[in-house]
Amino acid sequence: MTESAQTIVVRHPLVQHKLTLMRRKETPVAEFRRLLKEISMLLAYEATRDLGVTHTEIETPVQKMADAPVLDGKKLVLVGILRAGLGIVDGMLEIVPSARVGHIGMYRNHETLEPVEYFFKVPGKLHDRTVIVCDPMLATGNSAVAAIDRMKRAKPGALKFVCLLACPEGIKTFHDAHPDVPVYTAAVDERLNEKGYIIPGLGDAGDRLFGTR
């Protein structure tokens, strides 16, 4: 794992290998979906490193244990930016199955590249919960910034952003707007092209996840 300011790049070999498989244009939808789920489980592992634990007494088949660690505090909230964010939420739920789930519907106007919100539904009373907002591609950063703006209005205890791929432009836009919110990603690619795609990237994450192209 490499950390720079608030960007945490998860450089684990399994993550990097799976990401390469996802980038290949011949990778079929089912495999792309499975790989996104697997990488998201590994990203969740990093993004939940600082969750609080408390200790409790349990009984193993052999004897009593006085100080067995268990997660402390309110359940985590995973918020997927529709629609590709669902792929990351699915994977993270595999290892945090009791997390609460919210959705933000946001599409990118293909001419202005600006986000337009059309849906917002998240759990209530977020003030003592950690919220992890998920979207695979941190490209222009505009949707992510808008989603975090929206989430901040709900006053969560802590906020994080998890993506699969980022680029320098998206990271700058994101951190300029939200220097307090850490970004977890599997890679930071070279750049954004004139159409708003990450280069070399993996194409349109939503189309590849749902087979809509």
| Residues labelled as active-site residues | 108, 112, 204, 207
CA nearest neighbour of 8 among 44, 54, 38: 44
Distance, in Å, from the CA atom of 64 to the CA atom of 15, rounded to the nearest integer, reads 38
* Closer residue to ligand URA (CB): 58 or 116: 116
Residue 107 interacting with ligand URA (CB under 6 A):
no
Residue 115 interacting with ligand URA (CB under 6 A):
no
* Closer residue to ligand URA (CB): 146 or 154: 146
CA nearest neighbour of 88 among 74, 101, 105, 75: 101
Asked, as a colleague might, if the bond just before 11 is cis with ω within 30 of 0, I would say no
Residue of 36, 133, 137, 147 that binds ligand URA (CB under 6 A) = 137
Residue 117 interacting with ligand URA (CB under 6 A):
no
Cβ 155 to ligand URA shortest distance, Å: 29
Residue of 107, 120, 197, 210 that binds ligand URA (CB under 6 A) = 197
Query: What residues make contact with ligand URA under the rule CB under 6 A?
Result: 137, 139, 196-198, 201, 204-206
